[in-house]
Structure 1
Amino acid sequence: MRTIALDEISIRTTLLPGDLGYVAYLHGDLYTKENGYGLSFESYVLSGLGEFGHEYDAEKDRIWMCEHEGRRVGFLLAQHRPNALQLRYFIFLPEYRGIGLGKKLMTEFITFMQQCGVKDAYLWTTDEQDAAISLYLRHGFKLTEEKPSTSFGKKLTERRYDLHLV
């Protein structure tokens, strides 16, 4: 397989029909294969995406849909919350990892925060997401909460990371 260059990826910020369903599918499929998460995880994702879809405000919320050769290959979502943005559903197909796309989207997320005048952001993840956690830490997120969980069909630790822009 040939190496994919970052400049070959287009990033769309307009939410289109089918995007949320695709994100749910991708999470259910990849997290089951890679982490052994069960149906409860996909249900959790579907619930959150449903909330986002119902409350979507193009001024306060943003999606970044990554596309390559007409195919959706990755995603990030910024969901407005009282006094903060929540970073959610950050995922890429395996062959699109490690090319700088995550770093690019984190920069876009922080730029969006600044454009909206939002100083605080947070995200929830699990202790199993080492590469993502490393990326969050490099962009200024700090671990603020941990809790044991069996919510996704297995024992793990859920973690909250917060970012405060000065």
Structure 2
Amino acid sequence: MIHQSPILKDIKIKTNLKPGDLGYIIHKHGVIYSEEYNHGVSFEAYVAQGIFEFYSNYNPVKDRIWICEHNNKIIGSLVLQHREKNTAQLRYFYLEKEYRGIGLGKLLMNLYMDFYMKCGYDSSYLWTTHELGTATALYTKHGYRLTEELNTNSFGKNLIERKFELKS
């Protein structure tokens, strides 16, 4: 049997939540960041806390979650979370390894930017680490600029946390 790479047209992107979605996104962040970046359990707890905050303050006019599914399995996500002063935060962007490089990340960023513009936000920001070069390249292509760096020992290892901001 020949294994075929997934193609973009076969992926469903939904913006509604069903029971289990948020827990699965938390789980996958924990697993992927442990396997690929050696993050500890504290990272999964951090994601769980943030996902709870997102859901607790969810406003469908200001917030959006994009959940990518292939063959009824979640394979990626992205969140736009409203913040004070007409600002949006980009969070929880992940794709399963076999779905990277097919244009899905670019599509999600375009969906994020379209919703961001539609909502009339003045700015957007995100936090990431120095280890995520491919993601950083995608953010900078959309106008995000590095504005802050912090040396931390977050998530069980030494990291450089980076803040990127976009001004409208």
- With the shorter chain as reference, the TM-score category is over 0.9
- C-alpha separation between the residues in 1 aligned to 2:122 and 2:139? 16
Deviations 1:18-68 (A, max 9, x none): 111111000000000000000111111111011111111111110000011
Match for 1:58 among 52, 57, 60?
Answer: 60
Using the TM superposition, give the Cα deviation of residue 69 of structure 1 relative to its aligned residue in structure 2, in angstroms: 1.2
Q: Which residue of 2 aligns with 1:101?
A: 104
Unaligned runs of 5+ in 2: none
Q: Which residue of 1 aligns with 2:18?
A: 16
- C-alpha separation between the residues in 2 aligned to 1:67 and 1:20? 13
Aligned length: 165
Paired residues for 1:103-118 under 5 Å? 103-118=106-121
Q: Which residue of 2 aligns with 1:73?
A: 75
Paired residues for 1:1-12 under 5 Å? 1-12=3-14
Structure 1 letter corresponding to 2:54: F
Structure 2 letter corresponding to 1:68: H
Q: Which residue of 2 aligns with 1:87?
A: 90
Deviations 1:65-124 (A, max 9, x none): 001111111000000001211000000110001100010010110100111111210000
After superposition, the CA RMSD in angstroms is 0.8
**Percent sequence identity over aligned pairs:** 49
Matched, 1:151 2:154: yes
Decide which moves more: 61-70 or 11-20: 11-20
Matched, 1:138 2:141: yes
Q: Which residue of 2 aligns with 1:45?
A: 47
- C-alpha separation between the residues in 2 aligned to 1:52 and 1:89? 11
Using the TM superposition, give the Cα deviation of residue 149 of structure 1 relative to its aligned residue in structure 2, in angstroms: 0.8
Deviations 1:110-159 (A, max 9, x none): 10011111121000000000110011011111000000011110001000
Q: Which stretches of structure 1, 4 residues or longer, exceed 2 Å deviation after superposition?
A: none
TM (norm. structure 1) is: 0.97
Structure 1 letter corresponding to 2:30: G
